[in-house]
Amino acid sequence: MLLEADDPEMKQLAEEEEKQLTERKETVERELKFFAAAEGPERRENVIVEIRAGTGGDEAALFAGELFRMYSRYAESQR
């Protein structure tokens, strides 16, 4: 939208949104790195993962099933 917009107002809105999203991305990446590097008992806690078939009909349900099997196998291999 930023590259294709002819309206200067739309370009400005797109630039502002891009700036906000870039800042949010950097914040989330820092948080993820912090939690990934955490040591100690809190890192070994159990995790609950919810897998849902979103919109997309049968393909979404098939993908969710494959994703569940992948995570299940990984969890079993990690005991």
Cα gap 49→75, rounded to integer Å: 11
Query: What pLDDT does 64 receive?
Result: 93
Is residue 43 over pLDDT 70? no
Q: What average pLDDT does this structure show over 7-17? A: 88
Cβ-contact 63, 71 below 8 angstroms: no
Of the listed ranges 12-16, 23-27, 45-49, 57-61, the one predicted with least confidence: 45-49
Average pLDDT, whole number, for the chain?
84
Q: What average pLDDT does the segment 5-21 reach?
A: 88
Measured in whole angstroms, the distance separating CA 1 from the mean position of its chain's CA atoms is 22
Give this prediction's pTM. 0.44
